[in-house]
Amino acid sequence: MLIHALPIYHTHGLFVASNVTLLARASMIFLPKFEPGLVIELMARATVLMGVPTFYTRLLQNPALTHESTSHMRLFISGSAPLLADTNREWSARTGHAVLERYGMTETGMNTSNPYDGDRVPGAVGLPLPGVCVRIADPETGRELPREAIGMIEVKGPNVFKGYWRMPEKTTAEFRPDGFFITGDLGKMDEQDYVHILGRGTDLVISGGLNVYPKEIESEIDALPGVVETAVIGVPHPDFGEGVTALVVRDKGIEVTEAGVLGALEQRVAKFKMPKRVIFIDELPRNAMGKVQKNILRDTYADLYE
């Protein structure tokens, strides 16, 4: 039995959660909204939860989440946005369950998934599903890149849509001549063929003519004591074109300073990737699916370096 608390105006809630349940002739508890306390109570009756990362971070804040309260559950699934590796590890420690993370889009349905039986790698969205081809390509040329290289995630398979309705120019622009769809997501494939998402192509920061991938910096800052989560963005800078800027949510019980974050990063990242500023905020803006809205952050801090 599925606990369904996802919005059904999104492909995750409508096509994945609802349709898969119907196809399997299973049952679900259909909730009007996500309420952590209620979801934990319902785990005694259910076996599966499909969620977004925000579900899991908010459930972890509830002391009722324990090995005992999740003992009836068989599977926890996360999608729609990357789940922090630290969140995945904390979930395993609290519940004894490893979250199964996967990757899909409205235009493609499901592309990759960590295995049900096998290694579920924290921070990875898993292996290409049967019949789906995934490659990492140079964003400009479409040339396939080697393992561990960062580039554009492109997919091809029977799951991929044929094109945008009455938008032939957009369709042509977002498909390669060999039929691969350009997802707009930056990522890499490791030596075991697990896919790792590093952000949207629109989130790429070009500082001093050099590419900075926000996920790399975010992961380093998230690993620091007292940091809850981080968003790295690029905003206009008079010298560098874009200034790498880190927006950090910190644990109110632990002191974290801008100097402390920058000092820790000095030994971990290249100088050109260093944030020009670290700004502390109460929470990151998110949409209904739990994705951080970096466009709002870029607008908010557009005048930071003027």
Query: What is the distance between the alpha carbons of residues 274 and 253, in angstroms, rounded to a whole number?
Result: 26
Rounded Cα–Cα distance for residues 124 and 191 (Å): 12
Q: State both tokens at 302.
A: 């557009």
Contacts of 298 (CB under 8 A, 6+ apart): 233, 234, 235
Helix (H) / strand (E) element for 258: namely: helix 258-265
Q: Taking the model in full, what pTM does it have?
A: 0.84
Q: Give the Cα separation of 117 and 105 in Å (integer).
A: 24
Q: Please name which of 65, 64, 45, 60 lies closest in space to residue 4, comparing C-alpha atoms.
A: 45
**pLDDT tens digits for 140-177?**
899 999 999 999 999 999 999 999 999 999 999 999 99
pLDDT, one tens digit for every residue, the chain (306 residues): 999 999 998 899 999 999 999 999 999 999 999 999 999 999 999 999 999 988 999 999 999 999 999 999 999 999 988 888 888 999 999 999 999 999 999 999 999 999 999 999 999 999 999 999 999 999 989 999 999 999 999 999 999 999 999 999 999 999 999 999 999 999 999 999 999 998 888 899 999 988 899 999 999 999 999 999 999 999 999 999 999 999 999 998 889 999 999 999 998 999 999 999 999 999 999 988 888 999 999 999 999 998
Domains recognised in the chain with CATH numbers:
2-98 (3.40.50.980), 127-199 (2.30.38.10), 204-300 (3.30.300.30)
% of the chain beyond a pLDDT of 90: 86
